[in-house]
Amino acid sequence: MDTENLQRRRRTNATPHNAAVTEKRLKRGEILAKKKADKQLIKEAYAKKDHLASFPAFRHFQINGLSVCLKSGHGNALSSPVKRYIQNLLKLNMEGPYGSEWQVEEKVKRVEMVDPEACYIFVHEVDNSNADEMTTVLTTEDTSTSRLEDSSPLVGFVHYRFVLEEEVPVLYVYELQVEPRVQGKGLGKFLMELIELIAQKNCMGAVMLTVQKANLSAMKFYTSKLRYIISATSPSKVIPKMETSYEILCKTFNDEAKTILEVTENKSF
């Protein structure tokens, strides 16, 4: 049978029933293509070794008498002192908000900390007089941390990952931790601005994070100052009667993410 005949046959076979099947197949095809594209976005985001490289202006920050340098890190490449630092700061900042859940949560966080998908931005405090020198050290190709870690103490960090949340590719902030002595100087806000830029640069639909309800100051920081909202995926929105100790917050960057992660009306899970 020649091609023209075959095409004609296909066309005449397109009864209403077949048209519906074809449309369904097409839709399924589109959905599969979209899923594939989203997974590819996540893969590409992880393939970048240093997300800070796109934002050189953020490598050094000076405000309210505080001078810091930022450096990227990965969960599977943390030195023992850095692991200890993370654990100690988490305990210091989070034992209170977690209360009786802390013992279990601490163990979970220890595992999460070293996950190969854990991406980090570390904040090192630098002497004001060394600020320019440190910026140079950090922007050179070889950013082996030994000198930096030896000479400039850590004062905080962000741990983030790229994940699919309700099939939307998002940057999920696992931890944002600033040492008490440098809190309130604008560092947390600065880090979250950077995180949002990293999310958008990597075509993520949103930044998401989890906050303990008991952590009133963090909740206020995210919702009042940074304009995050409680996500439609947060337990309090999904099952309002269920009592949980946390909320999931989000800030979306496109319509798809907004519809899925923000809008709760007529949503059935």
Ligand X SMILES: CC(C)(COP(=O)(O)OP(=O)(O)OC[C@H]1O[C@@H](n2cnc3c(N)ncnc32)[C@H](O)[C@@H]1OP(=O)(O)O)[C@@H](O)C(=O)NCCC(=O)NCCS
Considering the complex, what minimum distance in angstroms separates the CB of residue 199 from ligand X? 16
Q: Please give the residue whose beta carbon sits closest to ligand X in the complex.
A: 188
Distances (CA, A) of 215 to 122, 140, 179: 22, 38, 15
Collect all residues with Cβ–Cβ distance below 8 Å to 79 and sequence separation of at least 6.
Answer: 145, 149
Contact region with ligand X (CB under 6 A), list: 27-35, 40-48, 101-109, 217-225: 217-225
Considering the complex, what minimum distance in angstroms separates the CB of residue 241 from ligand X? 24
If one asks whether residue 170 binds ligand X (CB under 6 A), the answer comes out as: no
Q: Dump the DSSP string for 117-156.
A: T-EEEEEEE--GGGHHHHHHHHHSS---THHHHHHS-EEE
Nearer to ligand X, 73 or 156 (CB): 156
If one asks whether residue 93 binds ligand X (CB under 6 A), the answer comes out as: yes
Strands across the sheet containing 229-230 = 60-63, 66-74, 119-125, 154-165, 168-178, 206-212, 246-252, 229-230
The torsion angle over the Cα atoms of residues 139, 141, 113 and 79, rounded to 10 degrees, is -110
Tokens (6 digits) for 256: 């798809």
Collect all residues with Cβ–Cβ distance below 8 Å to 182 and sequence separation of at least 6.
Answer: 66, 125, 155, 156
> For ligand X, which residue of 10, 39, 43, 225 counts as binding (CB under 6 A)?
225
If one asks whether residue 221 binds ligand X (CB under 6 A), the answer comes out as: yes
If one asks whether residue 181 binds ligand X (CB under 6 A), the answer comes out as: no
Count the alpha carbons within 13 Å of 64 in the hemisphere toward its beta carbon: 8
Report 184-213 residues binding ligand X (CB under 6 A). 184-189, 209, 211
> For ligand X, which residue of 72, 177, 233, 252 counts as binding (CB under 6 A)?
177
> For ligand X, which residue of 87, 135, 151, 183 counts as binding (CB under 6 A)?
183
> For ligand X, which residue of 113, 194, 218, 257 counts as binding (CB under 6 A)?
218
Considering the complex, what minimum distance in angstroms separates the CB of residue 92 from ligand X? 8
If one asks whether residue 153 binds ligand X (CB under 6 A), the answer comes out as: no
What is the contact surface with ligand X in residues (CB under 6 A)? Answer: 93, 176-178, 183-189, 209, 211, 215, 217-218, 220-221, 225
